[in-house]
Amino acid sequence: MNSEVVVSGMGILSAIGCGKQAFMEGLRQASCGIHGNVALRCGKPSPTPYGVVADLDLLCAKYLDAARLRRWDPVSRMTYLACVLALRDAELLDEENHWIGVDPKRIGLVMATGYGGLESTENLFRKVAEDSPQTANPSLFPETVPNAATGHLSIELGLKGPNTTFTQRQISTEAALHFALNLMEKSDLDFVITGAIEDLAEWGMISQLHCGVLAKGKAPSLHPFDRKRSGTLLGEGGAIFILERRERAAKRGVKAYGQILAKQIAGVPATHGSWPKGASAAAALLKNVRHFFEDHSIQPNDLSYVSACALGDPCLDQLEATFLHEAIGNKTPISALSGATGSFLCHSSLRLAASFLSLQERFIPATVGLTDPDGATLNHVMHKSQALKGNSVLLHTLADGGGQALTLVHRNGEKHA
């Protein structure tokens, strides 16, 4: 791991706030951004609550012209917005989107996505299936490919460096981050833009509802690790990060948020498309965590807290609680963000942003929706945020299909401006 690579900018879109300040306040106050009867882009009312990105239309109107708003898939619009916020935060782009002393050819772009342009996919296929392929709008097709967002970004900002897109279910963010850090380590690029964004699209919501993973009841709600959890609720958004070498950040006079000290992507057996299940899965997941701790000489006591991926699913949360208890005991604080923002495949990008901000601001976000912990005894952060000690957060993510990612986030440098 190249310890000299730091995060110097972040762009955040979430249901509890867009931009780092609003997001941080949302975290600090344990806000819940999941609401019922929200206006969805597909125009249909939905009784199911969702974590819709706050003020997205206002932001879009501010940053994108009418042609782009019309042509681009929502996930591309959101990716562009988050990227511009991140570049401005890193003081690389001015208010008129001009580069500040940067050669965009020396910037890499490594993004992750859940499904890419799902809304465009829906619209194109609807036309093909219900009308005729010959009436399909040709401009929709390029919006359906998962790398459409990075294509638009590179064209808009003139980014001619390496440009790639990853997907790996819930560990998509970590997959992109892994490659982005590889690039910074092995190439002479000045910056790499990385992160993950996902939007709520109609058929995505329908299919999740049909698969039975959403919270049940007349007024469904999301309760990570809680005894009354009955499923998850969907959200959207994500975060984009600017990676650069510490010396360059210092030379530019930009303070770093921190760095990724260690990372690991591994797997455990799982039935196709399903969550790992049972005692053997818990044992394999635990083994992976222990290997990670051994490889990087990590002690549970070193951790300020663990950012868990719990999403309110009855089995998954129990599984995560069981092996986290084995791995770290009951002293290290545990925090889960899905209760505030809703869950989605790129959700760990938000948890990564939350980790950097909480290390900087010295608080551990509370697990929104958790009041009555179930199962294994863990030191849950409930009701309100609490003071943070130490300088490291462990981000833990499980994916359906059997992927598991561990990321050690470390604070360094002084407070970011």
- What is the rounded distance in angstroms from the CA atom of residue 353 to the CA atom of residue 88? 16
Nearer to other proteins among residue 132 and residue 387 (C-beta): 132
Residue 311: phi, psi to the nearest 5? -130, 20
The DSSP output letter for 250 is H
Interface map 287-316 toward other proteins (x if CB under 8 A): -x--x-------------------------
Nearest to 344 by CA among 178, 144, 112: 112
Q: Report the site for other proteins in 350-379 (rule: CB under 8 A).
A: none
Q: Does 109 bind other proteins (CB under 8 A)?
A: yes
Sign of the alpha-carbon torsion through 396, 13, 210, 46: positive
Among 16, 175, 215, 321, binds other proteins (CB under 8 A): 175
Output the six-digit token pair for 230.
């009955």
Among 150, 232, 392, 397, binds other proteins (CB under 8 A): 150
Nearer to other proteins among residue 93 and residue 183 (C-beta): 183
Query: How near is the Cβ of 137 to other proteins at its closest, in Å?
Result: 7
Q: Pick the piece of the chain touching other proteins (CB under 8 A) from 37-45, 53-61, 88-96, 177-185.
A: 177-185
CB distance 272 to 169 below 8 Å:
no
Q: Does 26 bind other proteins (CB under 8 A)?
A: no
Beta strand 333-336 with 305-308: parallel, antiparallel or unpaired?
parallel
Query: How near is the Cβ of 127 to other proteins at its closest, in Å?
Result: 8
- What is the rounded distance in angstroms from the CA atom of residue 342 to the CA atom of residue 351? 12
CB distance 236 to 52 below 8 Å:
yes
Q: Pick the piece of the chain touching other proteins (CB under 8 A) from 94-102, 133-141, 309-317, 366-374.
A: 133-141
Give CA 27 to chain center in angstroms: 15
Interface map 49-88 toward other proteins (x if CB under 8 A): ----------------------------------------
Interface map 198-227 toward other proteins (x if CB under 8 A): -----x--xx--xxx---------------
Interface map 178-197 toward other proteins (x if CB under 8 A): xx--xx--xxxx--------
Q: Does 121 bind other proteins (CB under 8 A)?
A: yes
- What is the rounded distance in angstroms from the CA atom of residue 237 to the CA atom of residue 124? 23
Query: How near is the Cβ of 337 to other proteins at its closest, in Å?
Result: 22
Q: Pick the piece of the chain touching other proteins (CB under 8 A) from 79-87, 117-125, 386-394, 407-415.
A: 117-125
CB distance 241 to 416 below 8 Å:
no
Q: Pick the piece of the chain touching other proteins (CB under 8 A) from 78-86, 176-184, 221-229, 303-311.
A: 176-184
Output the six-digit token pair for 60.
């879009």
Beta strand 163-166 with 305-308: parallel, antiparallel or unpaired?
unpaired
Among 43, 47, 101, 138, binds other proteins (CB under 8 A): 138
Q: Report the site for other proteins in 378-407 (rule: CB under 8 A).
A: 399, 401-403
Interface map 253-292 toward other proteins (x if CB under 8 A): ------------xxxxxxxxxx---------x---x--x-
Output the six-digit token pair for 256.
């770093």
- What is the rounded distance in angstroms from the CA atom of residue 310 to the CA atom of residue 324? 11
With H, G, I as helix, E, B as strand and everything else as coil, classify residue 244. strand
Q: How many residues sit in the footprint of other proteins (CB under 8 A)?
A: 79
Nearer to other proteins among residue 30 and residue 109 (C-beta): 109
Query: How near is the Cβ of 179 to other proteins at its closest, in Å?
Result: 6
Give CA 242 to chain center in angstroms: 14
Cα R_g (the chain), whole angstroms? 20
Nearer to other proteins among residue 47 and residue 253 (C-beta): 47
129 Cβ contact list (under 8 Å, min separation 6): none
Residue-wise DSSP of 324-366: HHHHHTTTSEEEE-HHHH-B-TTHHHHHHHHHHHHHHHTEEPP
Nearer to other proteins among residue 171 and residue 357 (C-beta): 171
Q: Report the site for other proteins in 154-173 (rule: CB under 8 A).
A: 154-155, 157-169, 172
